Structures are given as structure tokens and as C-alpha cells.
């Protein structure tokens, strides 16, 4: 497809699928370097180690991802690196949510090599790609909340996930090595960005991220 050098990161916890995807990518590109990771921790380590990764091919269900929270964190922490979700899930609501949380593309694992080539080429050119039969124009409350969540900073994402675990401000401050005042400021910012009035409502949003359930997203 191109003779230019590329460095891709395959993020999937199934070695057999990583191997199959590696073979497919090597058939598409010449002079290609591929890095592999089987968990969110391994992915973040690779992204911290290499500052010139061109693309991440990400499985939503590998260890550490916790639904969409892992994708949201990656997009907030590594803004310049495009992410294509490669998933066995083909539900339109999941595809739409992945794009709302910052993925540049979504490729179902059932698609063939040609479709994968088309999707990767589109994303490398700066476009967003999903299967042609997926309608991303539908606007619902879930999509609106997803955009608000995607506006959180990496530290705010960490705080929100800790709130969802039931941690108090003092405990969050200890875990993040910051002051309680800093945590309170983050919590206030989170509530403002999400358009909610309480920690409980923010935790409901966090739970929805982790469950990947946006079809009936309601902030009570």
C-alpha cells in the first residue's frame, strides 16, 4: 500500500489473533514495524517507550480496558496517536460509542483483508472509518454523554474511575500523590464537564463506561 515506514501497535490479549493481524498488516505494508501488547498496561508502556507509533489497533475486551474507560484514557493521554478499535462486536451502538470516545476507526474482526486495508488507509490519512453500513448520524443522550466524558483530562479520568470504586477524596489523594484540595478540584471539574450535580451521578456515568452500556444512558 505504501513504501513508507510505519510503526503499529497491536493491542489484543489473544496471541493467535495478534499473529493473524500481524500477517495481514505485513502483507499490506512494506518496511513495517509491529509492536504487540496484551493488556492496557502493556499498551501504555509501549506508547510511553515509543514516541513515533503511527497507529494503535485496539481490542476493547483485553485485560485492563474496563469497557470504554481504557479507550477514553488512551485518547486523553496520547492525543496524537490514532486508535482503530478491532473488535468481535458488531453492534452499531458499540461502534458509535467507540467513535464518540475518540477512536478514529472501528473494524469488526469478521471483515476481510480488503476492508481492513481500506479502514487503515483512511485513518492514516486523517479520516474516521467505520463499516459502510453503520449510521453514525443518530444522536441520543448516550452520544451526548460520551462526548462530555471524552472531554475529561487523563487525571480526571483516573479520579472518576476511583470514584466508581467507592474511594473517598482522601484515598484518591493518596493513590495519586496529590492533595485533597486537588482531588476536590478535579471532582468539581468532572461534575461541571458531565453536566451533573453529584458524585453519585458521575459514578453512574463511570459505570456505564465500564459496562459499555449506552443504549439507555440516563442521568437520573
Gap between the Cα atoms of 142 and 183, Å rounded: 26
* pTM tops 0.85, yes or no: no
pLDDT exceeds cutoff 80 at 209: no
pLDDT digit string, tens, across residues 77-128: 888 899 999 988 888 888 888 888 889 999 998 888 888 889 999 999 999 9
Q: For position 141, what pLDDT does the model report?
A: 61
pLDDT exceeds cutoff 50 at 176: yes
Gap between the Cα atoms of 39 and 99, Å rounded: 21
Question: Is residue 33 classed as helix, strand or coil in its secondary structure?
Answer: strand
pLDDT exceeds cutoff 90 at 3: no
Q: For position 165, what pLDDT does the model report?
A: 80
In terms of Cβ atoms closer than 10 Å to its own Cβ (0-12, 13-18, 19+), residue 109 is middle
The domains located in the chain, with CATH, are: 6-124 (3.40.50.2300), 141-211 (1.10.10.10)
Contacts of 174 (CB under 8 A, 6+ apart): none
Would you place residue 75 in the very low, low, confident or very high pLDDT band (cuts 50, 70, 90)?
A: confident
Q: Which residue has the higher pLDDT, 168 or 150?
A: 168
pLDDT exceeds cutoff 90 at 173: yes
Lowest mean pLDDT among 7-11, 104-108, 139-143, 169-173: 139-143
Report strand pairing: 6-11 vs 55-58.
parallel
Amino acid at each position: 500500500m505504501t513504501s513508507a515506514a510505519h510503526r503499529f501497535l497491536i493491542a489484543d490479549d489473544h496471541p493467535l489473533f495478534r499473529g493473524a493481524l500481524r500477517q495481514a498488516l505485513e502483507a499490506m505494508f512494506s518496511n513495517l514495524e509491529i509492536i504487540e501488547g496484551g493488556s492496557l498496561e502493556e499498551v501504555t508502556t509501549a506508547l510511553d517507550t515509543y514516541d513515533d507509533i503511527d497507529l494503535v489497533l485496539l481490542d476493547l475486551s483485553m485485560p485492563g480496558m474496563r469497557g470504554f474507560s481504557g479507550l477514553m484514557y488512551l485518547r486523553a493521554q496520547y492525543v496524537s496517536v490514532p486508535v482503530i478499535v478491532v473488535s468481535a462486536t458488531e453492534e452499531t451502538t458499540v461502534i458509535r460509542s467507540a467513535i464518540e470516545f475518540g477512536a478514529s476507526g472501528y473494524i469488526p474482526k469478521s471483515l476481510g483483508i480488503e476492508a481492513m486495508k481500506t479502514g487503515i488507509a483512511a485513518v492514516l490519512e486523517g479520516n474516521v472509518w467505520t463499516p459502510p453500513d453503520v449510521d453514525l448520524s443518530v444522536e441520543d443522550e448516550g452520544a451526548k454523554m460520551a462526548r462530555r466524558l471524552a472531554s475529561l483530562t487523563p487525571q480526571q479520568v483516573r479520579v472518576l474511575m476511583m470514584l466508581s470504586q467507592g474511594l473517598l477524596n482522601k484515598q484518591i489523594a493518596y493513590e495519586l500523590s496529590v492533595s485533597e484540595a486537588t482531588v476536590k478540584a478535579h471532582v468539581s471539574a468532572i461534575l461541571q464537564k458531565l453536566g451533573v450535580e453529584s458524585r453519585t451521578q458521575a459514578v453512574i456515568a463511570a459505570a456505564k463506561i465500564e459496562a459499555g452500556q449506552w443504549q439507555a444512558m440516563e442521568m437520573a
